Chains A and B, each alone.
Chain A
Amino acid sequence: MSADFPFLSVLTLLPLVGAIAVACIPRAKAELAKLVALIWSLVVLALSIVMWVAYTVDSTDRFQFHEKYAWIPSWNANFTFAADGIALVMLMLIAVLFPVVILASWHDVDQSRRSAPTYFALLLAFEFTMIGVFAAADVFLFYVFFEIMLIPMYFIIGSFGSGQKQYAAVKFFLYSLVGGLFMLAAVIGLWVVGGHTFDFAALVEAGKSIDQNTARWLFLGFFVAFAIKAPFFPFHTWLPDSGGAAPAGAAALLVGVMDKVGTFGIIRYCLPLFPEASRWFAPAALVLAVIGIIYAALLAVGQNDLKRLVSYTSIAHFGFIGIGIFAFTTQGGTGSVLYMVNHGLATGLLFIVVGMFVARRGSALVSDFGGAGKLVPVLAGVFFFAGLASLALPGTAPFVSEFLVLIGTFSTHQPYAVIATAGIILAAAYVLWMIQRTTQGTLNPALDEVPAMKQDLSLREKFVVAPLIVLLLVLGFYPKPVTDVINPAVQATLQDVGKQDPAPTVADGKAGR
C-alpha cells in the first residue's frame, strides 16, 4: 500500500466498526465477543504496521497521510487527519497495547454481573477515540475526540471497576470535563482570533500574529486541559482513584495511552500555536513538573494499594516528560516523546502484571502479599522486570528516554535536572520496596491458602507479557528506529517555538544509542 491509502481514517474507523460489532454479540456468547475483539485489534495492529512502513522518515513534509473531508463548512471545520512522527509513534503504541490488554483482560469480567461483550466493545470504542485524538489535524476534530474519549472509560471504570468505582468514575469524568471545557473556551477563542479556521497548519501561521495577552490566555486554556489529562501536579488527584478502581487492563490503557493525550497535546498544540506564551510559561511548567516528580514519588512510597502505587509512579514519570518538553531542547523533546512510548509499554506491563496478582489474590493491598515469589516464580520474575523497566534500569527502553530527558534538561536548566535526578533514587526506592514487600521474603501464610496463587503464568498470560518484554528490551538496546521518526517532528516543533539547541557540550543526543 502506498502513502496515498487513507490510512488514518481507516485506522480510526476500524475499531469503531469493531466496537459496534462486538456490542451486538449476545451476552451468552462472551467467548465469541472476546475473540472478535482480539482479532479486530490485531487487524488494527497489522494496518498500523503497514502505515509505519509507508511512513517516510526523511520526508520534507512534517505531516504525512493527509486526509481532508468537509464537515461543517460554515465553521471551516473538517475531518482532517495527518500524522507527524510524534503522532505516528503514539498510534503504534495504541495499536500494540490494545491487543495485549484485550488478551490480558480475558477473564477480568467473567465474574462481573455485567456483560462481557459490553466490556470488550467499550475497549474497542476507547481505541477508536484514542486513535482519533492522535490522528486529528483539525483543532475542532481533536477537541471532539478529546471529549468523547471520556465516555467509554467512564463506563469501564464505573461499570467494571472495583472498590470505590462510582466515586472514581465521577471524579474522572468531572476532572476531565472541567479541563475539556477550559479547552473549549480556548478553542472558540482561537477560532475567533485565528481567522475562523480550525486547520492546524493555518492556525500555526495565524498564531504568530495573535496579540500576546490573548495568546497567553488561550495557551492557559489548552494547558489546563492537558495538565489535567496528563496529569501534572496539582491536577493529578483523579488518577490514583481512577487507576485504583479501573480493571487492571483498562488502567494500563488509562496511564499507558490516555494520559499521553495530555503531553501530546502540549507538544502538538500548546507549543506551535502559542510559541511566545509557551516560552513565557515554561518556568512555571518546569517547577510544576519537578514538584510532580518528587511529590508523587514520595506518595508512591507510602501506598499500600498496588494499583494506586503504580498510578502514583505514573504521575512522577509524567513529571519527567514535562521537564523534557519545557526544556526546549531536541534531546529533551525527543526524550519526552520516547518516554511517552516507553512509559506506555513499561507501566502498561506493570499494570497488567499487578492485575494478574490482584486477580489471583483477590486483593490489591501490598500487605496481603509477601513472599509470593515462592508460589509463582515466573510471574514474580516478570513483575521484577516490569518494575526495573519502570524505574528505568539501563538496558530497558525507559532508560534511554529518561537519560535523553535529563541531558536535554541539564544543558539548559541545570537545577531542575539535578532535582529530577533525585526522583530516580525515589523511583528505585518505591519500585524495589514494592517488589520486596510482595514477592520476596517469607511467605505470607494467608497466600498459601488461596488456590489461585499457586498457578503460575498460563500460556495466554505468557502471550500477554512476552511482546511487551521483547519491545522493552529491543527499544532499550536499539531505540534508533523510533528516535529517527520522532526527531524531525520534535525539531520542527522547536522551530515553531523559536528555540535553538545550545551548543552541544556533553553529548549530542546520541548518547543513549
Chain B
Amino acid sequence: MGDLKLPAIDYGALAPMLILFGVACLGVVLEVIIPRRHRNVVQLTVALLGVVAALTVLVINRNTRIVTIGGAIAIDGPTIFLQGAILVLGAVSLFLIGERQVEAGGAFVAQAAVVVGSDKDNRQVTGQPGLTEVYPLTAFALGGMLMFVAANDLLTMFVALEVFSLPLYLMCALARRRRLLSQEAALKYFLLGSYASAFFLFGVALLYGFAGGVQLSAVHDAVANPQRSQLLLYGGLGLVAIGLLFKSALAPFHVWTPDVYQGAPTPITAFMAACTKVAAFGALLRVLYVAFEGVRWDFQPVLGTVAALTMFVGAILAVTQTDMKRLLAYSSIANAGYLMVGVLALNPDGLSSTMFYLVAYGFSVLAAFAIVSLVRDSDGEATHLSRWAGIGRKSPLLAGIFTFILLAFAGIPLTSGFTAKFAVFGAAIDGGQTWLVIFGVITSMLIAFPYLRVVVLMWLSEPGETTPAVSIPGFLTSAALGIGVIVTVALGVVPAPLIDLTREASQFVR
C-alpha cells in the first residue's frame, strides 16, 4: 500500500471558517452545560465573538491569494470580500436573531417538536423563552457560506452547500407564531432544496466525466481543450447551474422563495435574504467566471433569459401581493435578477458591481425585515398590507425609515439601491448586454409600483382601528436597523470607498 500523501494546508487562510465551525460545535456543547436562563446571552455572545474573530482573521489575511488544501479552497480577492460581507451581514442578522425584548422569549419557538395546536404548544407561544440552538445553527450556516464562496472544486462546493443549507431548513421551522406555516415553509424548502442539491451533484458527476476532475481549474482547462463529449459539459453546466439558481432564487427556480420567506421567523428570513444571497451569488460568480469562462457565448443567452424572466416574475408578482413578507420576497427575486445582470457582464466590472450590489442590498433588506419584525399586534407580526395603513401617522420615524428603504429598493438616487443598480447596469452595457439593461429598466418601473403602494398606504391612508402599534425596538433590533439604514445612506451618498474595495478585490485565482 502506497503512502497516503496529505496535501499542504494553509490553516491561517482557512481560519475564518474553522473558527465558525469551532464556535458552532462549542455552541452545541454550551447548550448542555449552561442553565436555560443564561443560555441566550451566552450563546449570542459566543456566536458574535466567533463572527468578530473570524472577521479579524479575515482582515489580517486580506492580502492572501492562494489555493490551498489540495485545490479545494481558493482564497482570493472575491473570496475575502464576499466572506467579509457574509460575516458583517451575519453579525447584523445575529442581532435580529438575538432580539428578546420585542416579543417575550424572542421570535423562536421553545420546543420545535411539540404538536402544533396542542395545549402544550399554546402554552409555549406565550412566555417561554425561545430555543437557543439557533445560534450554533447560524454559526454552522455562516461557516458553510464562507466555505461556499471559497470552494475551488465542485465537490467542496457541494459539501458547503449542504453545510449551510441544512441549518437553514431547520431554522425555517422554528417560528414561535404561525407554527403550521413555518413548518410548511421548512418542509417546502427542504424538499425543493434537496432536489436542487441532487441536480447539483448530478451535474458535478457529468462535469467530472467531461473534465476528469472536479476542480474548477480542471474544468476550465477541459473547456479550453475538450477531450470528451460536449454533451457532458453542457449537461453538467446546466445541472450545476440549476442548483445554484435555486439557492439564488432565480426564476424559474424561485417558487420556494415567497412561501419560505413568509413562513420562516422574520430574523431568519432576513438572514436568508442577506447572507444566503451573497453566498449563492458568490459561488455562481466563481463557477461562471473561473470554470466556464470559455463557453460564455453559450451560457450567456440562456442565463440572460433567466435573468430577464426573474426580473419580470419578481416585479409583476410583487404587484399582486397583500403580505409584506411575500412582497419583500418577490422584491428579493427581482433583485436577484438585477444581480444576474451584473454577473452576466462577465468582465471585471461585472464582478465588482455584483459584489457591491450584494452588500448594498444585504444591508437594506436586513433593515426592511427588522422593521417588519416591529409592526405587530397581540397575534405577533402584522404582515398583511392592510394593517400597515396609516402607520406613518402613528409612528412617523419608523414609517420614514421604511419609506427610505423602499426608495432604496426602487433605486432612487442617494440610496445604495441606486448606486448598486447603476453599477450593474453600467457593467452590463460595457459587457455588451444592453438588452438585459433594457429589461432591467422596464422591470424597475414595474416594481416601483408595489413599493409606492406601501408608501402610499403608510403615509396617505387614514389609520384604521386595526392598525397595530409599533413595538419599541430593543437594543439589538435598533442596532441592526440603524446599521442597515446608515449603510444604505452611506452607499448612496459616498459609495466611492466600497466601489474601490470591490474593484481591488475583483480578481479570481485559478
Contact = CB atoms under 8 A, between A and B. Distances in A.
B413 A189 contact: no
A159 B496 contact: no
Given A148-B412, A185-B437, A74 B496 contact: yes
A73 interface: yes
A155 B500 CA distance: 35
Interface in A188-239: 188-189, 191-192
B438 interface: yes
Given A74-B496, A192-B430, A166 B456 contact: yes
Interface stretch (A98-106, A173-181, A466-474, A485-493): A173-181
B260 interface: no
A361 B481 CA distance: 47
Interface stretch (B211-219, B224-232, B442-450): B442-450
Contact of B499 (A72, A165, A177, A185): A72
B469 interface: no
A177 B448 contact: yes
Given A75-B499, A177-B448, A147 B413 contact: yes
Interface in B418-464: 418, 421-422, 425-426, 429-430, 434, 437-438, 441, 444-445, 448-449, 452-453, 456, 459-461
A189 B429 CA distance: 7
Interface in A103-160: 143-145, 147-148, 150-151, 155, 158-159
A177 B410 contact: yes
B503 interface: yes
A260 B448 CA distance: 25
Given A143-B413, A147-B413, A184-B441, A155 B425 contact: no
Interface in A51-97: 70-75
Nearest to A165: B460
Contacts of B438: 185
A173 B410 CA distance: 12
A169 interface: yes
B412 A151 contact: yes
A178 B456 contact: no
A376 interface: no
Given A147-B412, A188-B437, A170 B445 contact: no
Contact of B425 (A148, A170, A177, A188): A188
Contacts of B233: none
A171 B409 CA distance: 19
B114 to A, nearest CB: 46
Interface residues of A, number: 32
A455 to B, nearest CB: 32
B495 interface: yes
Contacts of B422: 184, 188
A319 B201 CA distance: 64
B196 interface: no
B344 to A, nearest CB: 15
Nearest to A157: B460
A74 B494 CA distance: 12
Given A74-B496, A74-B499, A75-B499, A177 B429 contact: no
A189 B503 contact: no
B407 interface: yes
Nearest to B432: A192
Contacts of B453: 170
Contacts of B460: 158-159, 165-166, 169
Contacts of A410: none
Interface in B393-420: 407, 410-414, 418
A192 B429 CA distance: 7
A73 B421 CA distance: 17
Contacts of B437: 185, 188
Contact of B407 (A72, A144, A151): A151
B459 to A, nearest CB: 6
Given A147-B412, A158-B459, A181 B499 contact: no
Nearest to A72: B496
Interface in B491-510: 494-496, 499-500, 503
Contacts of A143: 413
Contacts of A155: 459
A159 B425 CA distance: 34
A295 interface: no
B413 A144 contact: yes
A169 B407 CA distance: 15
Contacts of A148: 412-414
A182 interface: yes
A178 B445 CA distance: 6
Contacts of A177: 410, 445, 448
Contact of B434 (A72, A151, A170, A189): A189
B496 to A, nearest CB: 5
A184 B456 CA distance: 24
A143 B414 CA distance: 11
A191 B426 contact: yes
Contact of B452 (A165, A174, A182): A174
Contacts of B418: 144, 147
A172 to B, nearest CB: 10
Contacts of A185: 425, 437-438, 441
A72 B438 CA distance: 24
Contacts of B503: 74
Interface in B226-284: none
Contact of B426 (A73, A150, A166, A192): A192
A170 B452 contact: yes
A178 B418 CA distance: 14
Contacts of B412: 147-148, 150-151
A149 to B, nearest CB: 10
A174 B412 CA distance: 12
A182 B445 CA distance: 9
A12 to B, nearest CB: 14
Contact of A144 (B414, B425, B448): B414
Nearest to A118: B396
Contacts of B452: 170, 173-174
Contacts of B426: 75, 188, 191-192
A52 B222 CA distance: 69
A188 B429 contact: yes
Contacts of B459: 155, 158-159
Contacts of B500: 73-74
Interface string A443-477: 00000000000000000000000000000000000
A175 to B, nearest CB: 10
Contacts of B448: 173-174, 177
Contacts of A174: 445, 448-449, 452
A158 B453 CA distance: 12
Contacts of B434: 189
A73 B411 CA distance: 21
Contacts of A191: 426
A158 B444 CA distance: 22
Given A158-B456, A158-B459, A174-B445, 9 more contacts: A72-B499, A74-B503, A75-B499, A143-B413, A148-B413, A169-B456, A173-B452, A184-B422, A188-B437
24 contacts: A71-B494, A72-B496, A73-B500, A74-B503, A75-B426, A143-B413, A144-B413, A147-B412, A147-B418, A148-B412, A151-B412, A155-B459, A166-B456, A166-B461, A170-B453, A174-B445, A174-B448, A177-B410, A178-B445, A185-B437, A188-B437, A189-B429, A191-B426, A192-B426
Interface of B: 407, 410-414, 418, 421-422, 425-426, 429-430, 434, 437-438, 441, 444-445, 448-449, 452-453, 456, 459-461, 494-496, 499-500, 503
Query: 7 closest A-B pairs (Cβ-Cβ)?
Result: A144-B413, A185-B441, A158-B460, A147-B413, A192-B429, A72-B496, A181-B441
